[in-house]
Amino acid sequence: MTEMRMRDAIREAMREEMLRDARVFLMGEDIGAYGGSYACTRGLLDEFGPERVRDTPISESGIVGAGVGAALAGFIPMVEIMTINFSLVALDQIVNNASKLHYMSGGQVNVPLVLRMASGGGSQLGATHSHSLEGMFAHFPGLTVVCPAFPGDAKGLLKRSFREPNPVVFIEHTALYGARGEVPDDPDHLVEFGQAATVRSGKDVTLVGYSGSVHQCYRAADMLAEEHGLTADVIDLRTIRPLDMSSVIRSVRRTNRAVVVEDDWKFGGFAGEIAAQIMERAFDWLDAPVARVAGKDVPMPYNRNLEYAALPSEEDVVEAVLSML
């Protein structure tokens, strides 16, 4: 084990997979000399050269489509979309091409493409640069959606993404790039998709999160323990498609209460999917309606106080738990 930051774990995963498999190459806006907007590819240009670490123009649809094409021709491209906000101009490629070609072709082709993108608000970047669209991507059959919360998982999941024969949307929370954690040194350390992790165990409530919201759940669990004498299961989904509901259901049947936490808007959001599945599979075990703690239904404001109010907080999680007792 080595302690490292999330961004370094991500870089290490890409580096190891490039060393392991000559079919892997990277492209994206400013991933070369600049080293990536969030410094995830720093140093890789020097190590692998401009053919395999390719700077691109600002053409998200073009470069994602190019990734699809290269994948069809036998390569394993990683396309970095600087932030998830820009994925909106590449949706045609992600949704109409990457996610559907295997199915539409009757299984003739497959698209081993890794799309990395940074997500989340909280940095006063305003409404166009603060999206959390994980749930939107999880909506589309054919996509795998990975949302790591810890550096070790980020490395294992990203390495696993490069081995996947289908398109993977790998979403990194901007607030977590500097977060430190233990990362396995084993170059064959993979984290399987569709396996949630119980990062903290308790008996009074189940807190469910992914990506950044796992940390809110974790801090809320601390507050519940210290201030209210309550203990919580904290479940880190790690991938939201495939979704490991069995772990969530097992926990809820034991704690009888659940709060789902995400940065994304509450209306029509992914937390609603989890809440519905809990209702379908654990209704008789519930002592209270499943609560959702999520972003407020507004475009993200620039003002710091307003932005803080629009995002879910650990205090919101604690309040939700207390209100269901």
Partner 1 sequence: MSVGQAIPTMVGEPPDDELQQRFLYEMLLIRRFEEKCAEMYTRGKIRGFLHLYTGEEACAVGAISALRDDDKIVTHYRDHGHALARGVEPNRIMAELFARVGGTNEGRGGSMHIFDVSKNFLGGYAIVAGHMPIAVGLGLAANLSHEDWAALCIFGDGGVGEGEFHEALNLAAIWKLPVVWFCENNGYGMGVPFDDSLANDVYKIAAAYQMPSVRIDGMDVLEVYSATQLALAHVREGNGPYFIEALTYRYRGHSMADPELYRTKAEVEEYRKRDAIERLKRSMIADGLIDEPTYQALVAQVGAEVDEAVAFADASPEPGLHTLYDHITKEYEGESG
> What residues are annotated to the active site?
60, 129
Among 18, 68, 221, 271, binds partner 1 (CB under 8 A): 68
Residue 56 touching partner 1 (CB under 8 A): yes
The span of 37-45, 74-82, 118-126, 246-254 binding partner 1 (CB under 8 A) equals 74-82
Tell which residue, 4, 321, 60, 14, has the closest CA to residue 170.
Answer: 14
323/38 Cα distance (integer angstroms): 39
Encoded one letter per residue, x for contact with partner 1 by CB under 8 A and - for no contact, window 9-38 reads ------------x-x-x-------------
Among 28, 36, 77, 301, binds partner 1 (CB under 8 A): 77
DSSP code, position 127: G
198/206 Cα distance (integer angstroms): 10
Q: Which is nearer to partner 1, 73 or 283 (CB)?
A: 73
Question: What is the full DSSP assignment across 184-247?
Answer: ---TT----TT--EEEE--SSEEEEE-THHHHHHHHHHHHHHHHH---EEEEE-SEEETT-HHH
State the Cα torsion 236-259-125-89 to the nearest 10°. 70
Tell which residue, 34, 86, 85, has the closest CA to residue 55.
Answer: 34
Q: How many residues does the chain have?
A: 325
Among 2, 59, 303, 323, binds partner 1 (CB under 8 A): 59
Residue 62 touching partner 1 (CB under 8 A): yes
Contact by Cβ (8 Å): 181, 236: no
Residue 93 touching partner 1 (CB under 8 A): yes
Residue 284 touching partner 1 (CB under 8 A): no
- Helix or strand or coil: residue 292? strand
97/99 Cα distance (integer angstroms): 6
Helical ranges in 21-150 per DSSP H: 44-48, 60-72, 91, 101-104, 134-138
Among 10, 14, 18, 63, binds partner 1 (CB under 8 A): 63
The span of 94-102, 229-237, 277-285, 291-299 binding partner 1 (CB under 8 A) equals 94-102
CB of 108 to partner 1, least distance (A): 4
Residue 229 touching partner 1 (CB under 8 A): no
Q: Which is nearer to partner 1, 72 or 286 (CB)?
A: 72
Residue 144 touching partner 1 (CB under 8 A): yes
Residue 285 touching partner 1 (CB under 8 A): no
Residue 195 touching partner 1 (CB under 8 A): no
> For binding to partner 1 (CB under 8 A), which residues are involved?
21, 23, 25, 51, 56-57, 59, 61-77, 92-93, 96-97, 101-110, 112, 141-142, 144, 162-166
